[in-house]
Structure 1
């Protein structure tokens, strides 16, 4: 069976067990002893629970509220890991009682965190998220940094389990920042935050990044002797090896995790390891061997009170029974698992279980049941693609025409010469009025001569202006039409580079391929900045002005850049007015200016922090971006807003830009009618600002529509299926062939609609069809795609185009078709094909983030 990684929240929640329950250094013997017991829970949770229960009289009745809170939190954590639900429930009740009796908000936040984890393992993740949202203010105001850390870690886990990856990333990165501020057990906290970030990268289909994070975390876990964390890390490593096709390495990692779980009494880890071992047996069609393993996994999940895990194990047990010919009993267990994930709201899991059930029916010869199940799966898959696909944004833009820029400067110089001549004429006229008649006549003659000269200069200037306007019109037309043609070679190059990477077995070439990918990304960024600047200089319309919610816009930008800042060791902060801030502006220009300022601050700040704030100044809003970076020398400050200019300190940075970001900010501000400026000290940091008029009308600004964060992940596991590609560019066809061959996909290719139909006439039956929109024959790619899908009702189809605003593409998206923009991200293309070309396989349970 095909390797598959199931996103199940409940197993990941077990990673929270034995967390440090206090942020202050122990100042009394009770806290010191609790610290020792928490360290013990890292090696053996069952032994730690027994020791904590034996010391209940000492700690639960302590006079110090911090000791009681720390004890209850440590007990709940350790008991959660070994599946003692009554002990966890009792500890939650005691925390709530302590919060009410002592008016202690920290105890209340801890109780809600543990309660939300219980709700999640019972399949009620949405209820748990609502409960955590009600405690947001209290958690942020808690004096204990560990309470804030646990709150964001729990939020990240629940968001990840429900598929809300952007929110999960925000909270997990916040937990990583907070872990570095903990006076006690900071290394343990950082280990957990990094482990859950690794899980999130896996959920977002970036196995290479996940495996790298696991390798970085394993030495830290071994140094801390954190057996519990080691067990989960080996389990995660097995999952990565599984999706990459190395089943033997995956089984070895699962057995290592299972051994640690049994030695430490870690019920949740034992259940997950058993389930994943059974999943590999199902992939190898060893159904009889998989049945007892899945039964043991289901019993372990029930012992741990993990209902979602038990439901998944029951579905896998059903697949094992169906594979042995016990169709009725197996289908009953699979359908029970499907009902549970449907009620829990996990649509991706439901869609995948339906697909595998359909394939098992087909294998058993029950074609009617297989067709009915396939229809349910296709309906659900279409809804998922319509709501969850990410926008593939990659714009290749034309280099700014420096010759035209020089002509504009020359025209300005000519206009200045004409003005100087006119001033000289006026001075001579004044002298003539005071002088003699002869001098007046002479001055009149001289004035007439100057008039003729001025007239000739004005005519020449007019001709030059018309020539410049014609050149500007031609340039704008070129920018509008060349975008598609320029994206074609980059699209082909992107696919070819990834195909080479998949075929490469020489370790010497790997860094060269990585450098090539980095160079392509840098080229895209440079062309993007050049075309942005060119559009602004040419005066092209940038949308209509409207009321813009600054709070929503800046919050979206923080999500966009938070991971980049955190991985660079920076602290990224946002201060917003409580009552909100609304301005009247063109949203496209305003977002572009603010994004460039934030990105510039992060790029030139090797360490420290970046602060973005909004403050009222009279009738305006002042937006400031401050950093503690390298700063700008006084001699360079007058030129930083000029295109292509970089100071000496910027040139010394490895990741320096091309000197276009601040030029774009200046042009955006000028078109917005906003004041802008900067202050900086070399070596001390910089402050850039925009001042925008406040929106004073009664109408409120609508919510800002954020741009989805692009996640580039290289998928390397093979695929099976048939694909039809229609594109009229031979180089692009070669790139498609190289990539699909490397993935193991059988493909046919065509350059016209007639050739594509001829492939179908010859008996080729595709599972997936990709059609370019702009064809040299004049055909509409969308019309061709619809006629091909009409002949192949079982196939999936997608549009591929280098354009962004074509009406046909908008029609395709409105009708629910997938639209991929060139250059296509190979990771996104692989993810689409992995779902469209999926064959029989069962579900593997993998912990989600936390």
Structure 2
């Protein structure tokens, strides 16, 4: 009898242990709250009314989890209906509940909703700071739904603040948590997916955003989640808008607006109205846009979304300006700009300034347009520096992962040695075992250690694959950023040159010169980042050959002679009369020598820079000496590291970004050359490269001269005569081309699609030169389009224009002898090409052209 009782008792204990926490007694209150939270996804206004009517039942429940869940559901639904007073009261009750019971889950919930409220009011930075203070508590709370909401809120705020890498990390974590929730798993996954596709759109990846929308819509329709469907249709409209499909975008916005009005979703309604009005502004239907923008402004104010209200107010001002009511429109726009400036939303402020400048220009107020453009460019420069610092920090973390990878490989090697030692030890233990029992025990212990080592090795291999994936992601990020950022810089460089040619006001000349210098600095940074990434990944930049060192150095010195002269420096070159040839990769060698000369000029406030070549045994020694600030002994071993800048760098006007010498070191490593420096603080520096000599002068690889430098020496940018056809699907770039070519006197036709380009030819336009962009939104190959256009115009010359550097299509174009211009195209380089093509030879048949890098 006692044995039976004992068995029953043990079974009961095992059953109790096997049940999950909270599952022993079902909670009917939590089940009802789950139903109301699901209702909130279908109709938020109805859910708020039902939750308020059930306040007596849930707000005073004895169970803290029930009260916490009720307040969270009510506050969340009130956000969507724009009931700010209900949101504020809900946050206050959550804080009071957390303080009364010392409940960490409730405190984290209150912080999440408060951070969201701050973000809606334009104080995203304050919301992020509050969430950061709760990071430790959020990971320790027992309620997985609270952890999910924390990561979802943090990801959404990072995304709106432009911190895309952090946003991706937290949104993916929220998606992972949503699939493990005991309650609300499907609706939570839907919300995580919705924020994730918005992040893809913010990261300027419309194709990935559209794919995520298509994958998420079936889940939203299955759940009947009208709130999520409304946002998904709105985001689909944003993607179509960016891709130029205004009719499709407007239809999506109207569908979203219909859902918002039916469900009482004030915030969604305001956003849909604002975006619909934006489509009307793009079509210059200003009278039709005005009432839509006024309705959007009222809806934003009802929802207490001050950031959105500022944008709607600015758009209302643009609608008024478009109707000729300039003073009233400017008043509304400036009010919106003041708010976003005080809120610290610099990207939105820069966007509004750009739109205001274009409206001034459209109204014929060119002086006001110029003043607004100056403000926008100053803000854009500030934004660039901020984003550059963030990108550099992220990239530095990526480079640190390479060091961790080397440590992982060392640990893997040590484990392999340990694995071999364990196998030998096991054999010794088996051979020396006195009895079968001892032999089996030794074998079992050895096998356990062997499996443990195998598991550790597998984990290390996985870590290595993750590090390699991170390196590949870094290279992909740099390649994408290079293309996307070169596009606006390309347009700006042409526009600034056009402004310079038209400018007759001596007061503006220094400002235009400063703009040109800023764009050159941006282009140098892009090139250095891209070259360093390709070198770090081991990708070769060219094939080795015999290079005429005298000719190459003369070309490099010619390139920087004007920069040195403007800085008051004497730039000298000394090369042996008998010539000097080396075995190296021409592209890498040119890059390394150019970076050394530029570095010497940059850190020499006054004095001279000497470039020389001397024989050293069977090698040639290239030295770049300067009389500049010099480098301390403590800093000399670090100057070839990426992103390192010495203590005196901050005192220089143009101290660079710490990438030039790192590229020199990587180039030398790939060429098999040695490099180094000798320096004394305050006395100057001498950087050197030592390369193997080559005596077979007959096989010397020709080093093409820099076309920009040659053209600058030979001729000024005089007026031109001729006809050009330009094909580019970016309308801002087309405007820049138009401004530049008109300033030079060139007659030009412009097209944004292949069909428009052929239509220009059908109408009788006969171009002497054709410039075609490589990456077209239609998916067509720019190279194929260029060949088709040239087939119709056999007397014309043609060139590819691209922000990419190593696309297969560009390689094919160069192999066939076509000219390839890399964005941002230098106005001097473009003028040099046109001066050759539109000169006396313009009617001759097309010949293969030299490649311009």
- Structure 2 length as normaliser, TM-score? 0.51
For the structure 1 residues 786 and 369, does the alpha-carbon distance in structure 2 shift closer, same or farther, using more than 3 Å as the test?
farther
Matches within 5 A, 1:312-391: 312-389=311-388
Distance 1:623 1:285 in 2: 65
**Ranges in structure 2 where 5+ consecutive residues have no aligned partner:** 1-19, 424-449, 464-472, 499-515, 529-551, 567-589, 604-642, 644-652, 665-727, 740-853
- 1:790-809 superposed matches below 5 A: 806-807=595-596
1:685 to 421, 438, 458: 458
Q: Secondary structure at the match of 2:556?
A: coil
The equivalent residue for 1:73 is 72
Does the CA-based 8 Å contact 1:724-1:766 persist in structure 2? no
Per-residue CA distance 1:190-245 (angstroms, 9 max, x = gap): 22222212222221222122111111111111122111111111111111111111
Q: Match of 1:193? A: 192
Indicate the residue corresponding to 1:61 in structure 2: 60
Deviations 1:501-555 (A, max 9, x none): xxxxxxxxxxxxxxxxxxxxxxxxxxxxxxxxxxxxxxxxxxxxxxxxxxx99x9
1:540-598 per-residue CA deviation (whole Å, 9 max, x = no partner) reads: xxxxxxxxxxxx99x986xx6xxxxxxxxxxxxxxxxxxxxxxxxxxx7x742424677
Q: Distance in 2 between matches of 1:778 and 1:330?
A: 53
Residues 158 and 782 of structure 1: CA distance in aligned 2, closer, same or farther (over 3 Å): farther
Contact 1:41–1:48 (Cα < 8 Å) also in 2:
yes
Q: Is the 8 A contact 2:412 2:457 kept in 1?
A: no
How far residue 711 of structure 1 moved from its aligned partner, in angstroms, is 6.0
For residues 175 and 245 of structure 1, do their structure 2 counterparts lie closer, same or farther at Cα, with a shift above 3 Å needed?
same
Say if 1:285 and 1:719 are closer, same or farther in 2 by CA, change over 3 A: farther
Separation in 2, partners of 1:710, 1:127: 29
- The aligned counterpart of 2:654 is 815
The within-5 A match list for 1:91-102 is 91-102=90-101
Within 1, Cα distance between the matches of 2:157 and 2:367?
38
Residue in structure 2 matched with residue 174 of structure 1 by the alignment: 173
- The residue correspondences of 1:254-333 to structure 2 (distance < 5 A) are 254-333=253-332
Q: Pairwise mapping of residues 6-21 of structure 1 onto structure 2 (< 5 A)?
A: none
Report the counterpart of residue 183 of structure 1 in structure 2: 182
Q: Distance in 1 between matches of 2:34 and 2:593?
A: 58
How far, CA to CA, are the matches of 1:839 and 1:124 in structure 2? Answer: 41
Distance 1:632 1:186 in 2: 47
Kindly provide the CA deviation profile for residues 118-137 of structure 1, in whole angstroms up to 9, marking residues without a partner as x: 11111122222222222222
Shift in CA distance, 129/725, structure 1 to aligned 2, threshold 3 Å: closer
2:477 aligned residue: 710
* TM-aligned CA distance change 1:181 to 1:222, over 3 Å: same
Three-state SS of the structure 2 residue aligned to 1:710 is helix
Identify the residue that residue 226 of structure 2 maps to in structure 1: 227
Deviation at 1:718, TM superposition (A): 14
CA displacement 1:159-180 (0-9 Å, x = unmatched): 2222222222222222222222
- What is the distance in 2 between the residues matched to 1:803 and 1:207? 38
Task: Pick closer, same or farther for the CA change 1:831–1:288 going to 2, 3 Å.
Answer: closer
Go from structure 1 to structure 2 and tell me whether the alpha carbon gap of 1:725 and 1:311 turns closer, same or farther (over 3 Å shift): closer
Residues 679, 835 of structure 1: alpha-carbon distance in 2 compared, 3 angstrom cutoff: farther
Contact kept, 8 Å, 1:76 with 1:87, in 2: the verdict is yes
Q: 1:146·1:182 contact (CA, 8 Å) conserved in 2? A: yes
Q: 1:192 & 1:785 partners in 2: Cα distance?
A: 55
Q: Distance in 2 between matches of 1:268 and 1:708?
A: 39
Determine if contact 2:491/2:732 at 8 Å carries over to the other structure: no
Aligned length: 503
1:442-489: CA deviation from partner (whole Å, max 9, x where unpaired): xxxxxxxxxxxxxxxxxxxxxxxxxxxxxxxxxxxxxxxxxxxxxxxx
Residue pair 1:625, 1:687 contacting (<8 A) in 2 also: no
The alpha-carbon distance between structure 1 residues 62 and 684, as it changes in their structure 2 partners (threshold 3 A), is farther
Indicate the SS of the match to 1:778: helix
- 2:183 partner SS: coil
* Residue of structure 2 equivalent to 1:246: 245
In structure 2, the residue matched to 1:592 is 402
Q: CA deviation at 1:293?
A: 0.5
2:36 corresponds to: 37
Task: Tell me: higher relative CO, structure 1 or 2? Use CA pairs within 8 A at least 6 residues apart.
Answer: 1
Structure 1: which 5+ runs fail to align?
1-21, 394-551, 561-587, 601-621, 639-676, 691-705, 727-745, 748-764, 789-800, 823-828, 841-850
Counterpart contact for 1:358–1:374, Cα < 8 Å: yes
**What is the CA-CA distance between 1:62 and the residue it aligns to?**
1.0
Tell me, what secondary structure is at the counterpart of 1:63?
A: coil
2 CA distance for matches of 1:347 and 1:835? 26
Question: What displacement does 1:632 show?
Answer: 14
1:12-69: CA deviation from partner (whole Å, max 9, x where unpaired): xxxxxxxxxx997792111111111111111100000011111111111111111111
Q: Is the 8 A contact 2:178 2:189 kept in 1?
A: yes
What secondary structure does 1:51 align onto? helix
**Contact 1:45–1:81 under 8 Å retained in 2:** yes
Compare 227-236 and 770-779 and name the one that shifted more: 770-779
Offset, 1:255? 1.1
Structure 2: distance between partners of 1:838 and 1:122: 40
| Root mean square deviation, CA, Å | 5.1
Contact 1:52 1:75 in 2 (8 A): yes
Deviations 1:766-786 (A, max 9, x none): 998878999984356567799
User: Is the 8 Å Cα contact of residues 626 and 685 (structure 1) preserved in structure 2?
Assistant: no
Conserved? CA contact 1:723–1:767, under 8 Å: no
Change (3 A) 1:815 1:316: farther
Deviation at 1:624? 9.0
How far off its partner does 1:349 sit? 1.3
Secondary structure of 2:197's aligned partner:
helix
Change (3 A) 1:43 1:322: same
Q: 2: CA distance between counterparts of 1:831 and 1:24?
A: 58
Instruction: Give 1:90's aligned residue.
Output: 89
Per the alignment, residue 137 of structure 1 pairs with: 136
Could you tell me whether the CA contact under 8 Å between 1:322 and 1:331 is conserved in 2? Answer: yes
Equivalents in 1 of 2:260, 2:251: separation in Å? 14
Q: Distance in 2 between matches of 1:839 and 1:99?
A: 63
Q: 1:787 & 1:150 partners in 2: Cα distance?
A: 60
Quote the offset at 1:815 in angstroms. Answer: 3.4
